[in-house]
A and B are shown apart, each in its own frame.
Chain A
Amino acid sequence: MTTVTAPATTAGSSVPVVPGRAVTRLGVRQIRRGALIVVALAAGMTALVAATYDSIMADPAAAGSLQALAGNPAIRTLFGEPVALDTTGGFTVWRVGTVIAVLLGVWAILATTRITRGEEDAGRWDVLLSGRVTLRAAVIRHVAAVMTATVAAGGAVSVVLLLVGAPSAGALVHGAGVGLLGLYFVAVAALAGQVFPARAAATGTAVAVLGVGLLLRMVGDGIIDLGWLRWLSPFGLLALSSPFHQDRILPLLVLLAATALVTATAVGAAGHRDVRGGLVATSSGRQARLLLLGSVEAFAVRRLSRPWTGWALGIGAYYLLIGATAVSITEFLADNPALAGEAANAGFAELGAVEGFTATLFAILALPVGGFTAVRMGAFITAETDRQMTLLSAQPVSRLRLLGAELLATAAGAVALATVAGALTWAGVAAVSGRLGLLAAAQGAWNILPIVLLSLAAAALAAGWAPRATAVAGALPATGGFLLLVIGESVDAPGWVRNLSPFAHLAPVPLHTVDWPATLMMTGIAGAMIAAAMIGYQRRDLRS
């Protein structure tokens, strides 16, 4: 009997002992920049807020306005239920905990679907998996890379809290909670990436899970009878762990168990599917749908329509909730004149009226709608980089028209999103027999459009001159501007610094009338940026 031996590898070639390590390195390479930014942001924001605590508390007036601020429903919905505000740690957790958790969750989802399903979708895993690595191993190693980053973010938060002298139990509970929440969303995104054969569907589903989790926490925080809902939401579990107050471990164990379950399901699913396939099969054929394929403008609208629906659902649900709770919260404030007075001192005048309450909440509408424009322009550049735009660019269509069509469609989508938010706020108020005019609600929502236009213009400017920075640039005016104002107020920054934020120039509509000079100014700046964007986009080489 003869023994068949495997052919020896070519002399002189080096074969890595563990081929998977190369895959891990690949995963790490693809996320390291984003991971560094997220960890730095988590640590930096925590440090910044913790550092300002003593100075704020030293001033009794500031401490009073802080209490009023904590009572402001807009801030409460955004930042969560304030507990243990009288400690550095408690204050920091309340002030930036939710923001960091959302930031980390969203990054975890985007990074995970990008380097797993996105790479597979683009065909780059075909080569990768022709080597010695199995699909399941590749998924595990990529997911592990993102998970490491989220654990690092949680660890960084803990370390910062310990360094500023917060009690170690609370610091560890909060850091662990933040890290676990990141792990959970990596797992959710990984599972979505196994179920759906397209990156957009996977990302959309995972973001929807995040959105629902956030809404459950808000409802659970807002309505005491529904407080148990928070056990169903990762954000709710984070709140239930109550760092620096009760330091409960059980909610974190629940989150850990959920994460382990979802991760195991994702890894199991990866072993039961084809490369480039999902658990949900793509339809093998269908009737042609020729609607909105007649021109580049129509096609821009068509590409927008599906993601727009997702954004509209998320934003709509949030503002319907705001509308529905507006009456009870404003009545509560109206019944507590002392509280309302303090809120007025803190700059939140007439929160006792529905108009005042909705006006403060419409201001933060600029964040998701501005984000929408940044993400859409980012997708436009991705289509160019992935060469899907090449065939259209070779048609008798000027570059001006290509970019113009995209900007028009995105701007129209943003206006429609704001309109949806306004209409659903009105519907929510009307459902509980409150009084808010439909036009007033719409005006409040439309009032933020100059900031959204600035976001779109900044993204376009980057698309024209520095396409790689498109999504980041688009996030600057809304998200960056909001953070600048919040941080600027926290550290009592000079007026001109705060005035750099477009939010500093936003009138509270529908409580007051629109600040037309500021609105026209912002629109004018956006217009100039778009003109510059057009010049750059016409001149540069297309990326492909």
Chain B
Amino acid sequence: MNSDFALRTAGLTKRYGRLTALDDLTLEVCAGEVFGFLGPNGAGKSTTIRLLLGLARPTAGQAWVFGVGAADVARAHRLLAYVPADVALWPQLTGAEILHLQASTGPGVDYAYQAELVERFELDLSKPARTYSTGNRQKVALVAAFATRAPLLVLDEPTSGLDPLMERVFRTAVAAARDRGQTVFLSSHQLAEVEAVCDRVAILRAGRLIQVAPIGELRGLHRSEVTLTYTGQPPNLDTIAGVQDVRQPGEGRLRFTLTGPPGPALTALADADITALAVREPSLEEIFLDYYGTEAVR
């Protein structure tokens, strides 16, 4: 391998006239990891991927695929397979013919695994693409990509048209790719998906990179929500370090958020007569809301 990084960008910027679609993105994706690329619609995820694939040229900055410049598509694309966000197929070709075309022009295919994927995704390959639904078009592109031996898979919102059952098949395929040592770059606005399969996540908003963190760390950086019921006097939490947003949602109930180590709060609670206690980890959805504010989440 030419580089330790499957993907690397430095100051990657794309402007369309006065609109800045992507602003100074510097990012490194290690070989072998499953990397989530999160952001709401219009954040610049697809623009980034088009730049990484050399489908569009950056206004400034550079991108590399395993050390190969993204503009050198003939070499760079030997190292990757791609599933676009909105898959369009040649309407007159059948699924089998499209897989054959992709295989014979692509970076090499594991035909046994391809057959297995076709079965698992329950794909009817004899139909012309004209008759495929959105989900089926996506399945064709997914089968073509997962069946390659390319060391990097670039997937742009690949499950938007899949039903929950097929999403599970997709997650299994991502896990299998990871086990084979393939790197997966997964763009998504579905938090559950990223939460389920990714090792690290980058968050993009309005063309800017907000944060890159391992999934676990992203959660740890943020609060837990504690809900408790008590009898008698309410516990006094006013001066306790890490406790915020103390609210009383009902008679004998208390809710607050907790950041950092829970020791001091637990000590304070020990003095009160607590009858029930629930600690909830925030979902990525809530972390998202923290970054973007409510108005930015669509």
Chain A contact residues, CB within 8 Å of chain B = 121, 197-198, 282-290, 293-296, 299, 303, 383, 386-388, 390-399, 401, 539-542, 544
Can you name the residue of chain A whose Cβ is closest to the Cβ of B75?
A396
The answer to the question of B97 belonging to the interface, with a C-beta cut-off of 8 Å to chain A, is yes
State the CA gap A289–B97 with chains docked (Å).
7
- Could you say which residues of chain A place their CB within 8 Å of the CB of B90? 303, 383, 388
* Chain B interface category by residue count: 35 or more
- Could you say which residues of chain B place their CB within 8 Å of the CB of A390? 55, 84, 88
The 8 A-B residue pairs whose C-beta atoms are closest, nearest first, are: A285-B126, A288-B96, A387-B88, A394-B82, A541-B56, A396-B77, A398-B74, A396-B78
Chain B residues 133-153 with CB under 8 Å of chain A are: 141, 144
The answer to the question of B120 belonging to the interface, with a C-beta cut-off of 8 Å to chain A, is no
- Could you say which residues of chain B place their CB within 8 Å of the CB of A542? 50, 55-56
The answer to the question of B267 belonging to the interface, with a C-beta cut-off of 8 Å to chain A, is no
- Could you say which residues of chain A place their CB within 8 Å of the CB of B88? 386-388, 390
A293 touches B104 (CB 8 A): yes
A540 touches B130 (CB 8 A): no
Instruction: Please give the distance in Å from B115's CB to the nearest CB on chain A.
Output: 14
The answer to the question of B124 belonging to the interface, with a C-beta cut-off of 8 Å to chain A, is yes
Chain B contact residues, CB within 8 Å of chain A = 50, 53, 55-57, 73-78, 80-82, 84, 86-94, 96-98, 100-102, 104-107, 124-128, 130-131, 141, 144
5 contacts between A and B (CB under 8 A): A282-B130, A289-B97, A392-B105, A396-B75, A397-B74
Known A-B contacts A390-B88, A399-B73; A197 and B105 likewise in contact (beta carbons under 8 Å): no
Tell me which of A197, A293, A303 has the highest count of chain B C-beta atoms within 10 A of its own C-beta: A293
A396 touches B127 (CB 8 A): no
Q: Which of B87, B96, B106, B127 contacts A395 (CB 8 A)?
A: B106
Q: Which of A197, A282, A295, A394 contacts B77 (CB 8 A)?
A: A394
- Could you say which residues of chain A place their CB within 8 Å of the CB of B74? 396-398, 401
- Could you say which residues of chain A place their CB within 8 Å of the CB of B102? 391, 395
State the CA gap A296–B74 with chains docked (Å).
13
Known A-B contacts A288-B94, A387-B86, A541-B57; A395 and B126 likewise in contact (beta carbons under 8 Å): no
Q: Which of B73, B84, B97 contacts A396 (CB 8 A)?
A: B73
Can you name the residue of chain B whose Cβ is closest to the Cβ of A296?
B105
Can you name the residue of chain B whose Cβ is closest to the Cβ of A200?
B92
B55 touches A397 (CB 8 A): no
Known A-B contacts A121-B91, A391-B82, A392-B105; A288 and B126 likewise in contact (beta carbons under 8 Å): yes
B107 touches A396 (CB 8 A): yes
- Could you say which residues of chain A place their CB within 8 Å of the CB of B98? 391
State the CA gap A540–B16 with chains docked (Å).
13
Can you name the residue of chain B whose Cβ is closest to the Cβ of A398?
B74
Tell me which of B50, B86, B107 has the highest count of chain A C-beta atoms within 10 A of its own C-beta: B50
Q: Using a Cβ cutoff of 8 Å, how many contacts connect chains A and B?
A: 105
Instruction: Please give the distance in Å from B125's CB to the nearest CB on chain A.
Output: 7
B57 touches A540 (CB 8 A): yes
- Could you say which residues of chain A place their CB within 8 Å of the CB of B130? 121, 197-198, 282
Tell me which of A296, A393, A394 has the highest count of chain B C-beta atoms within 10 A of its own C-beta: A394
B97 touches A288 (CB 8 A): yes
A287 touches B55 (CB 8 A): no
Add 12 more A-B contacts to A294-B104, A398-B73, A541-B57 (CB < 8 A). A198-B91, A284-B127, A285-B124, A288-B97, A288-B100, A391-B102, A393-B55, A394-B55, A394-B81, A394-B82, A396-B107, A542-B50
Instruction: Please give the distance in Å from B148's CB to the nearest CB on chain A.
Output: 10
- Could you say which residues of chain B place their CB within 8 Å of the CB of A541? 50, 55-57
State the CA gap A474–B95 with chains docked (Å).
33
- Could you say which residues of chain A place their CB within 8 Å of the CB of B106? 395-396
State the CA gap A241–B87 with chains docked (Å).
52
State the CA gap A303–B93 with chains docked (Å).
10
State the CA gap A284–B55 with chains docked (Å).
34
- Could you say which residues of chain A place their CB within 8 Å of the CB of B57? 539-541
Interface majority SS on B: helix, strand, loop or mixed?
A: mixed
- Could you say which residues of chain B place their CB within 8 Å of the CB of A386? 88
State the CA gap A198–B50 with chains docked (Å).
30
B124 touches A397 (CB 8 A): no
Instruction: Please give the distance in Å from A498's CB to the nearest CB on chain B.
Output: 42
State the CA gap A293–B105 with chains docked (Å).
9
A395 touches B55 (CB 8 A): no
State the CA gap A299–B90 with chains docked (Å).
11
Instruction: Please give the distance in Å from A535's CB to the nearest CB on chain B.
Output: 13
Interface majority SS on A: helix, strand, loop or mixed?
A: loop
B104 touches A295 (CB 8 A): yes
- Could you say which residues of chain B place their CB within 8 Å of the CB of A396? 73-78, 105-107
- Could you say which residues of chain B place their CB within 8 Å of the CB of A284? 127, 131
- Could you say which residues of chain B place their CB within 8 Å of the CB of A282? 128, 130-131
Can you name the residue of chain A whose Cβ is closest to the Cβ of B96?
A288
Can you name the residue of chain B whose Cβ is closest to the Cβ of A284?
B127
- Could you say which residues of chain B place their CB within 8 Å of the CB of A286? 94, 126, 128
Known A-B contacts A198-B91, A396-B75, A540-B57; A287 and B84 likewise in contact (beta carbons under 8 Å): no
State the CA gap A542–B71 with chains docked (Å).
13
State the CA gap A290–B104 with chains docked (Å).
11
- Could you say which residues of chain A place their CB within 8 Å of the CB of B124? 285
Instruction: Please give the distance in Å from B31's CB to the nearest CB on chain A.
Output: 19
Instruction: Please give the distance in Å from A420's CB to the nearest CB on chain B.
Output: 24
A283 touches B128 (CB 8 A): yes
- Could you say which residues of chain A place their CB within 8 Å of the CB of B131? 282, 284
State the CA gap A294–B102 with chains docked (Å).
9
Instruction: Please give the distance in Å from B228's CB to the nearest CB on chain A.
Output: 41
Tell me which of A198, A285, A383, A395 has the highest count of chain B C-beta atoms within 10 A of its own C-beta: A395
Instruction: Please give the distance in Å from B69's CB to the nearest CB on chain A.
Output: 13
Can you name the residue of chain B whose Cβ is closest to the Cβ of A283?
B128
- Could you say which residues of chain B place their CB within 8 Å of the CB of A121? 91, 130
- Could you say which residues of chain B place their CB within 8 Å of the CB of A397? 73-74, 77, 105
Can you name the residue of chain A whose Cβ is closest to the Cβ of B99?
A288
- Could you say which residues of chain B place their CB within 8 Å of the CB of A290? 97, 100
State the CA gap A284–B94 with chains docked (Å).
10
State the CA gap A394–B77 with chains docked (Å).
6
Can you name the residue of chain B whose Cβ is closest to the Cβ of A306?
B92
Instruction: Please give the distance in Å from B64's CB to the nearest CB on chain A.
Output: 16
B84 touches A293 (CB 8 A): no
- Could you say which residues of chain A place their CB within 8 Å of the CB of B76? 396
- Could you say which residues of chain B place their CB within 8 Å of the CB of A287? 126
- Could you say which residues of chain A place their CB within 8 Å of the CB of B75? 396
Can you name the residue of chain B whose Cβ is closest to the Cβ of A394?
B82
State the CA gap A282–B53 with chains docked (Å).
35
State the CA gap A429–B224 with chains docked (Å).
91
Instruction: Please give the distance in Å from A449's CB to the nearest CB on chain B.
Output: 29
Can you name the residue of chain A whose Cβ is closest to the Cβ of B92?
A198
State the CA gap A393–B94 with chains docked (Å).
19
Q: Which of B105, B107, B127, B141 contacts A285 (CB 8 A)?
A: B127
State the CA gap A288–B129 with chains docked (Å).
12
State the CA gap A299–B80 with chains docked (Å).
21
Can you name the residue of chain A whose Cβ is closest to the Cβ of B14?
A541
Instruction: Please give the distance in Å from B133's CB to the nearest CB on chain A.
Output: 11
Tell me which of B78, B88, B130 has the highest count of chain A C-beta atoms within 10 A of its own C-beta: B88
